Amino acid sequence: MNRRIAFLLLLLSPFQLSAVELFGVDLNNTNRDELRAAVQESGATLISEGNDEQWFDAYDSSSILPGSHRLYLGFVRSSGAFSFAEYEFPGVTTARLLSRLEARYGTADQTEKGQFISDQRHIWNRDGLTIEIFSDWRNYRVLLSYRNETNLRQLQIERQQAFNSTEGVFFY
């Protein structure tokens, strides 16, 4: 099955699945090469691929998730393990996306209201991953992220070590 169709079916599915997947790939059991291939097969346009100076991949995601602008993927450099995926949406309206996430993952485990009406954060903890949708009023955007918190901490440690070393300045 085309991974793009599989991704849309999974996102829109009313049934909760045991694994958190993007592009038909189980995020807890994937690596850099597998997820990159699945994202590119889905039709996302690569903007930049992580290397020694950049710690994440960036894609134009508008063709794979309507309304989105960018998809960022992060991996632990030493192992290639999945660390995070983050979609960026221009604007601060989350209602439609939130209803899709609730249909897939149920009611959020945690909801936080911010200083402004549009500042909201909804968090799910599923299959060892954190899924979060955040309305960022100050930057007029919505962020949807999937994070493996353990791997994200490892990525952050690697970045800090590289930044503190003689390797040079790294982009964030």
CA-only gyration radius of the chain, Å: 16
Q: Who wins on pLDDT, 172 or 50? A: 50
Q: Is the pLDDT of residue 70 over 50?
A: yes
Picking from 6-10, 56-60, 68-72, 76-80, which range would have the lowest pLDDT averaged per residue?
Answer: 6-10
In the prediction, which pLDDT does 4 show?
Answer: 52
User: What are the helix (H) ranges across 30-136?
Assistant: 32-42, 95-105
Structure tokens at 14: 């009313």
Q: Is the pLDDT of residue 139 over 60?
A: yes
Q: Is the pLDDT of residue 6 over 50?
A: no
Q: Who wins on pLDDT, 170 or 83? A: 83
Complete DSSP assignment for 113-143:
E-SSTT-EEEEEEETTEEEEEEEEGGGTEEE
Q: What are the residue ranges spanned by the domains of the chain? A: 3-164
| Percent of the chain with pLDDT strictly greater than 90 | 60
